[in-house]
Amino acid sequence: MKFLSREALQTWLDRLANEATLIAPRLVDGILLYRSVSSARDIVLDYTRPKMSAKEVVLPSSEPILLVEKRGQDVNLSEPPTGEQVVFGLRPCDAHGIAVLDAVFVAQEPVDLNYARRRNATTLVGLSCPQMWEDCFCTSMGGMPNDPSHVDVLLTEVENGYAVTTVTDKGRTLVAELSLQEMEYEPPESVLNEAELVLTQEHWPDRFADQYWDLLAERCLECRMCAYLCPVCRCFDVRDQVVQQGISYSKYDRLRCWDSCTGANYRMVAGGHNPRATKGQRLRNRFFCKFHYFPVEYGLSGCVGCGRCIEACPVNIDIVEVLRDMSRASNAPQTSKVSPNAETGITA
Amino acid sequence: MTEFALQDQIRARAKELLASEQVQCVIGYEHGSRGQIRPVFIHQSTDTDRLVWDQGCTHNLVTYLRDKKGAFGSGEHPQRVAIIVKPCDSRALNVLLAEKQIEREHLYVIGVVCAGIVEGAGYAGQSSDKLQARCLRCNDRVPVIYDLLVGEPTQAETEDDYIDLAELEAMSPAERAAFWLKQYERCILCYACRQVCPGCYCSICMFERDDSLWVGIAAGTKEKEAFHLGRAYHLAARCIGCNECERVCPMELPLSLLNRKLAKEVQALFHYRAGDKPSQSPLATMLAEGEEFPA
């Protein structure tokens, strides 16, 4: 393995912070978040996972996707600028989340230009989890706490430093200037949680009309916390906003902002009709999207098993409990049937 | 009386109420996953053994009554519901009754004598033996409204000195603004504070209108400030201090400081405490002695 000492890491991170926007786990008023740092000193290296996922670096909670300026009869359209950014200390599940977002925004035409611009300017440096933490279930979602698949470079803590695995060309370019020592030993494997979940994706359509969802949703508060903390949830709303309006000069922003299927007005359409009018229908969408619509549409799980929503939900809506209920229900006689095709088209 | 005895009493009454069809649903607490306590909705008299009561029952269940009153304009009848309330939660019932949001005859209130709720309640692995700060300064042991009282009424001799506000009150307006803007910046606009609040029952929140009448959809500090300050003002003389907003906030915004500052001012100016009395009208529509509503 290639070895980077602790001291060399600090020097490298300081240099990265000077050359690009460096985003890393940092304490903000006592809460760990992926945020830009000005020096290696600000970076927290010993952590479970930041409170929010890293999706903000490629899909900000709100961003102008079009800026319109009107001067007299001239209309100018411009796009917001994006600079180079390096994300350090990314957990493998969060990198997995970005890979899922890539499938939606850039893998197929039409490419989402804003997302693509940010994504191309982003280099991901992962940091392996030494163990799966409480609430973690990444191994059930096709991940591993030391999975290098979705990062450009992966660091794994070893004695006095880090094992460095370069994964992509982008990663090779990033570490090219580092003098890495060749060591004879390999980094230790991460400690895994025991319980593996059995996923029964094909049975989900049979559960569409179950009363289960209405009953589960009774305690749902319809906040959007689960979706906003999630590395994969990517729904957004777009609205035009007046910044300045005058006779000779006007300015408008077209804003894109996060949205969530748990929110009451999520599927409201013109005229006030809402095809997902009840809490149960919307909460069902959350789970169907992750475990049925998304896998069917993209061949990937819509959940990476980071466990953030489990930890944060104030009323204990537990995604693992839902998965267990679903696999139990798939073995039980069906109480109701619907045509699966009626719904598979409705993805976020 | 032990917690188990209280729990048995709650279960027994819930069973009677459901079996006799006096209510269609009992809103209470149950053991959830990972050792957490969570809200539960019991519809069958055979399920009442799921109900629990202990010092981890932190959620203010009154917020769920807005789902039981029948969708606005749908013609649905409100459900007859039994609900378990702590003294703080019970004051939220009075607020909703005074604001004509719920009807007393549709409600069966199981009031529980409360000695305080522990810190970390409602989250896995975080529960401690220490009482929540709001409970340490709370003087109320008995709910202000109930049909069945569970537990032996006790007395508490605590004085709320609002010491938690001292630091902010000592700041200059500019310092205070800087403090709050720094807090708001962290907010992710998940609206959990609003959703969990029994006092926030508007079907369309003014801060989320499709026409952006008051605030746009951007997640900027300006928008967040408008939302939090607006919400605080809308809750002035209505917030009963259950502190659910602060508990649920994933970004740990100290929202109690906003709500309690307003509660303190309202108490000093009008000698009014939200939800204390059953027939109390909202402060905004109360008349002083000698005043009359215009004809």
Listed by start position, the domains of chain A span 2-60+81-182, 204-235+261-344
DSSP-derived pairing of the beta strands A161-166 and A2-5: antiparallel
Q: CB distance from B76 to chain A under 8 Å?
A: no
Minimum Cα–Cα distance from A268: chain B residue:
B210
Q: Does the pTM of the predicted model rise above 0.80?
A: yes
**Taking 60 as the threshold, does the pLDDT of residue B125 lie above it?**
yes
Q: CB distance from B183 to chain A under 8 Å?
A: yes
Judged by CB atoms within 8 Å, which residues 132-151 of A form the interface with B?
A: 134-135
More confident residue, B38 or A83: B38
Residue with tokens 């095809």: A275
pLDDT class for B12, splitting at 50, 70, 90?
A: very high
pLDDT score, position A93:
98
More confident residue, B279 or B103: B103
Q: Please list every residue in chain A whose beta carbon sits closer than 8 Å to the beta carbon of residue B33.
A: 316, 318, 320-321
Minimum Cα–Cα distance from B126: chain A residue:
A311
Cβ separation A321–B250 shorter than 8 A: no
| Rounded Cα distance, A120 and A124, in Å | 11
Q: Residue A26: in which H helix or E strand, if any? A: strand A21-28
| Rounded Cα distance, A170 and A175, in Å | 9
Q: CB distance from A315 to chain B under 8 Å?
A: yes
pLDDT class for B203, splitting at 50, 70, 90?
A: confident
Nearest to B136 by CA among B152, B117, B121, B151: B117
pLDDT (tens digit, 0 to 9) for every residue of chain A, 348 residues total? Answer: 899 999 999 999 999 999 999 999 999 999 999 999 999 999 999 999 999 999 999 999 999 988 899 998 888 887 767 789 999 999 999 999 999 999 999 999 999 999 999 999 999 999 999 999 989 999 999 999 999 999 999 999 999 999 999 999 999 999 998 988 888 888 889 999 877 777 767 789 999 999 999 999 999 999 999 999 999 999 999 999 888 999 899 999 999 999 999 998 888 888 888 899 899 999 999 999 999 999 999 999 999 999 999 999 999 999 999 998 988 877 654 443 332 233 333 333
Helix (H, G, I), strand (E, B) or coil at A33: strand
Cβ separation B248–A314 shorter than 8 A: yes
pLDDT score, position B187:
97
Q: CB distance from A268 to chain B under 8 Å?
A: yes
Indicate the average pLDDT of chain B: 92
Cβ separation A255–B217 shorter than 8 A: yes
- The token pair that represents B19 in the structure block: 């079996």
Cβ separation A219–B40 shorter than 8 A: yes
| Rounded Cα distance, B208 and A237, in Å | 12
Which residues are paired to B27 by β-bridges?
B41, B83
pLDDT score, position A331:
66
* CATH code 1.20.120 for B163-270: no
Region B169-186: mean pLDDT is 97
B221-235 and B173-186 helices cross at what angle (nearest 10)?
110
pLDDT score, position B72:
61
Residues sharing a CB contact under 8 Å with residue A208, sequence separation 6 or more, in sequence order: A284, A288, A338, A340, A343
For chains A and B, CB pairs below 8 A equal 112
pLDDT class for B157, splitting at 50, 70, 90?
A: confident
Q: CB distance from B178 to chain A under 8 Å?
A: no
Q: CB distance from B208 to chain A under 8 Å?
A: yes
pLDDT class for B251, splitting at 50, 70, 90?
A: very high
Q: Check: CB of residue B70 under 8 Å from CB of residue B130.
A: no
Residue with tokens 């009018």: A277
User: Of A239, A258, A316, which is closest to B33 when you measure between CB atoms?
Assistant: A316
pLDDT score, position A340:
29
User: Of B59, B124, B252, which is closest to A31 when you measure between CB atoms?
Assistant: B252
pLDDT score, position B1:
60
Region B210-217: mean pLDDT is 85
Q: Please list every residue in chain B whose beta carbon sits closer than 8 Å to the beta carbon of residue A29.
A: 182-183, 186, 252
CA dist B100 → B96, B97, B235 (Å): 6, 5, 16
Minimum Cα–Cα distance from B40: chain A residue:
A219
Minimum Cα–Cα distance from B200: chain A residue:
A221
How many Cβ atoms sit within 10 Å of the Cβ of residue B257? 18
Q: Check: CB of residue B109 under 8 Å from CB of residue B83.
A: yes
Q: CB distance from A211 to chain B under 8 Å?
A: no
Cα angle A228, A232, A234 (rounded to 5 degrees) comes to: 65
CA dist A55 → A90, A101, A115, B95 (Å): 11, 8, 11, 40
Residues sharing a CB contact under 8 Å with residue B288, sequence separation 6 or more, in sequence order: none
Cβ separation B190–A28 shorter than 8 A: no
Residue B282, CB-side half-sphere exposure with 13 Å CA sphere: 15
Domain ranges of chain B: 3-150, 163-270
Nearest to A99 by CA among A141, A128, A61: A141
pLDDT score, position B286:
82
Q: Please list every residue in chain A whose beta carbon sits closer than 8 Å to the beta carbon of residue B188.
A: 52, 61, 225, 228
Per-residue b/e over B90-115, b at no fewer than 16 CB within 10 Å? bbbbbbbbbeeebeeebbbbbbbbbe
| Rounded Cα distance, A130 and A48, in Å | 9
Q: CB distance from A258 to chain B under 8 Å?
A: yes
pLDDT score, position B189:
96
pLDDT score, position A334:
46
- The token pair that represents A209 in the structure block: 């009309």
User: Of B33, B189, B196, which is closest to A314 when you measure between CB atoms?
Assistant: B196
- The token pair that represents A200 in the structure block: 């029964």
Region B219-239: mean pLDDT is 95
Region B163-191: mean pLDDT is 97
| Rounded Cα distance, B139 and B152, in Å | 15
pLDDT score, position A72:
87
Q: Check: CB of residue B122 under 8 Å from CB of residue B247.
A: yes
DSSP for B56-113, written as a single string: T----GGGGGGGTS--TTS-PPPPPEEEEE-HHHHHHHHHHHHTTSS-GGGEEEEEE-
User: Of A229, A241, A320, which is closest to B216 when you measure between CB atoms?
Assistant: A241
Exposure of A61 by Cβ count < 10 A (0-12 exposed, 13-18 middle, 19+ buried)? middle
- The token pair that represents B238 in the structure block: 């209505």
Q: Check: CB of residue A54 under 8 Å from CB of residue A35.
A: no
